[in-house]
Structure 1
Amino acid sequence: MRGLMRGYIRRVDAVNYHIGRVIMYGIFVMMAILLWSSASKTFFTPSLWTLEVAQFAMVAYYMLGGPYALQMGSNVRMDLLYGEWSDRRKAQIDAMTVMFLIVYLIFLLWGGWESLMYSFAYGGERSSSVWRPYLWPIKSIMVLGIFLMLLQALSEFFKDILRLQGHDMGEKV
């Protein structure tokens, strides 16, 4: 069982690490979009698409970068007590709290999938803005991000279980 957990951890961590390292450069994409938005408003005819594309880029940035942040330990936690606990106590608490995250992500994934299927079922759901882009591409990215976050949460759970069994999983970065 330990071998299966270690293999799962290695694979999921590798996928989310590589996706996270690529998606971190999405900040430059958002900056370019917003720079173009400012320039077009100042010097040309304002673009109708820039605000929504910037929002879509921000959603992709957060949804695909979330699993990487969880893997790197960049998530927000109350450090008042946590910082003073032993590694074993941290693993116990993390193993319990990550179960709440997993349940939440399952419901979120289910709702995201239903919303994505709705987009496809009705001839392509479109935004209500003047530009009216299709919403299925960004909803697909959201579902993918939630799925990757669920996989990473399971990976973190397995790491905590292995730590509780006394196996060195490496220090959380």
Structure 2
Amino acid sequence: MKALLRFAGWIDQLNRIFGWVATAGVLVCCLVSTGNALSRYAFSLSSNAWLEIQWYIFAGIVMLGAAVTLARNEHVRVDVLYGRLPARGKAWADLLGLLIFLMPAMLTLLYFSAPYFLSSWNSQEYSSNEGGLIIWPARLMLPLGFLLVCLQGVSEIIKRIGYLRGEYEMDTHYERPLQ
């Protein structure tokens, strides 16, 4: 179990790095948006590339930030019953949810998004908009994001099993692992 918990820690660290990239992407997206607005209104210069790069960055923010959101246990959930469960009950609910819902959904999305990206990569597909950008970087965010969430799901499964076995400690509110 100790080796699996070390592996889970490696996954957590990997996703913290991608989470930092997603956070930096918010600033970059704001700067691109500001630059686009300034160039359009101050100098009457505009390009679809500016709009498309904003969409690409936003895709990166969402897809790269999803796994770290799961790691921090800040994802959306229905707390009608969950909030009333004791810590072990929450661990069981999480474990079952991860195994029954998250992992099959992410693996299915990864399965279908990878060929979508590869097709765009192989054809070097460009946007049909005037001045548009190459599309594969945005499409890469789909399988990459789903893969990162899958990995984080594995980490969370390991940590929940470790917690249930008494080999991994969670905080008293069962919101985040103790560091």
- Same fold flag (TM > 0.5): yes
1:84 aligns to what SS in structure 2? coil
Q: Deviation at 1:78?
A: 1.2
Contact preservation (8 Å) 1:66, 1:149: yes
Query: Aligned equivalents of 2:169 and 2:20: distance in 1?
Result: 21
Provide the residue aligned with 1:113 in structure 2: 114
The size of the alignment, in residue pairs, is 171
Query: Aligned equivalents of 2:95 and 2:39: distance in 1?
Result: 50
**98-107 or 139-148, larger mean C-alpha shift:** 139-148
Q: Deviation at 1:3?
A: 2.2
Provide the residue aligned with 1:86 in structure 2: 86
Question: What is the one-letter code of the residue matched to 1:144?
Answer: L
Gaps of 5+ in 2: none
Provide the residue aligned with 1:167 in structure 2: 167
Contact preservation (8 Å) 1:126, 1:135: yes
Provide the residue aligned with 1:7 in structure 2: 6
Query: Aligned equivalents of 2:76 and 2:38: distance in 1?
Result: 36
**64-73 or 160-169, larger mean C-alpha shift:** 160-169
TM alignment of 1:38-117, pairs within 5 A: 38-44=37-43, 45-99=45-99, 100-117=101-118
Query: Aligned equivalents of 2:31 and 2:16: distance in 1?
Result: 24
Distance 1:159 1:140, change over 3 A: same
Stretches of 4+ moved more than 2 A in 1? 166-173
Contact preservation (8 Å) 1:40, 1:47: no
Question: What is the one-letter code of the residue matched to 2:128?
Answer: S
